[in-house]
Amino acid sequence: MLYRNFCAMNSSRHTAAWRAWQRWAALLCIVCTTAVAAPAKKKASAGKVRKEPVVRAVPAARALPAEPTPPPSLPGDVPATRAAAVIVIDARSGEVLYEKNADEQRPAASTQKLLTALLVAERGYLDRPVTVMPTDTYAEPTKLNIKAGDTYQRIDLLRALLVKSCNDVARCLARDAGGSLEGFAEMMNARAQSLGATNSNFVNPNGLPIPGQYSCARDLSLIARAAYANPTIRSIVSLPNIVFRYANGQTRELENTNKVLKRLPYCNGMKTGYTDAAGHCLISSGARPGRDVIAVVLGDNKPNVWKDSAALLSWALWM
């Protein structure tokens, strides 16, 4: 009897525990199901409503027109240049090897000092003294700053003219040779005509801008060829630098303005030039055994005038 009562009591306890566990399990399932099904709430900013950023199409930046790049070479492997006018000749025969706008009238800037130098060299007596006059010093911007009353040998002034392109020196030599700048201009035009340079008109000896003065690449090549054949000029234009001694004893080293001289071992001259109207200009010469060439480049820019001239010389010497 006691055993039956004990079993009945244990059975009721077991049943109550089982039912409690079932209720707890059911509640746990409901909680889990709700947590999974409900979307996560975003944490709102205090007092602010967060909006999705508006994406606007950004117009593409307009690309600047690319500067046209010239081809590496023209037919016949001639180097392409951006210069306004070009001519390349054989310095021995005068044969034209390449030309571009060679007859276009243009300011020659200081390249025309080759004609000034040619007239002075052909006149001779280069050891004779020259006394500087006040009007000789009226020249800008490239000056040697020679002083009125000072005396120099012609050869020393000629070297300074061709190596450093000094405008006051050009006036001094021209006045000494022609009696006046006007008289020397007549000499320049007469000598140019005799060389076949008929598409030019020279008014001053240094190439500074002045109305009525012009030349062209072909005429300058004829003048350069005559200057190249002159031993005095030929020996000067190949000098990388010189030391100029002033009348008061002071000295100054003058570096050649032709940068191709330092870049090419076979370059041996000749003359640079620049004004705003003319652009960067260079008459360059080069030689190797059995061949001499001259390249005239007018209206180029500063970085390219050296590259273009060097490329033309190299091409012409080994074509």
Is the predicted pLDDT of residue 39 greater than 70, yes or no? no
φ/ψ (deg, to 5) at 267: -80, 135
Chain-centre distance for alpha carbon 85: 16
CA atoms within 13 A on the CB side of 251: 4
User: What is the average pLDDT value for the chain, to the nearest integer?
Assistant: 84
Chain-centre distance for alpha carbon 309: 12
Assigned domain for 263 exists: yes
- CA dist 86 and 60 (Å) reads 41
Assigned domain for 26 exists: no
Catalytic residue numbers?
A: 110, 113, 165
Paired tokens of 165: 């392109």
Assigned domain for 61 exists: no
- Rg of the chain over Cα atoms, rounded to whole angstroms, equals 44
Assigned domain for 234 exists: yes
Is the predicted pLDDT of residue 218 greater than 90, yes or no? yes
Percent of the chain with pLDDT over 90: 73
Q: What is the mean pLDDT of residues 90-106?
A: 98
Residue 22: its pLDDT value, please? 54
CATH of the domain at 188: 3.40.710.10
- Sign of the CA dihedral with 136 first, then 141, 142, and 144 last: positive
pLDDT band at 140 (very low <50, low <70, confident <90, very high): confident
Number of residues that make up the chain:
319
- Which range of 42-51, 71-80, 136-145, 193-202 scores highest in mean pLDDT? It is 193-202
| Three-state SS sequence of 124-185 | CCCCCEEECCHHHHCCCCCCCCCCCCCEEEHHHHHHHHHHHCCHHHHHHHHHHHHCCHHHHH
Is the predicted pLDDT of residue 133 greater than 50, yes or no? yes
Residue 27: its pLDDT value, please? 47
Q: What's the pLDDT tens digit per position in 153-197? A: 999 999 999 999 999 999 999 999 999 999 999 999 999 999 999
Is the predicted pLDDT of residue 108 greater than 90, yes or no? yes
Is the predicted pLDDT of residue 2 greater than 90, yes or no? no
Q: What's the pLDDT tens digit per position in 282-314? A: 999 999 999 999 999 999 998 899 999 999 999
- CA dist 158 and 122 (Å) reads 12
Assigned domain for 298 exists: yes
Q: Which comes out higher in pLDDT, residue 136 or 13?
A: 136
* 253 contacts 144 by C-beta, under 8 angstroms: no
Assigned domain for 35 exists: no
Its domain, for residue 149, covers 73-318
Burial 146-167 (b: 16+ CB within 10 A, else e): beeeeebebbbbbbbbbbbbbb
Q: What's the pLDDT tens digit per position in 249-292? A: 999 999 999 999 999 999 999 999 999 999 999 999 999 999 99
Assigned domain for 254 exists: yes
Strand partners of residue 281: 273
Residue 142: its pLDDT value, please? 83
- The total number of structural domains in the chain stands at 1
Residue 74: its pLDDT value, please? 67
Assigned domain for 195 exists: yes
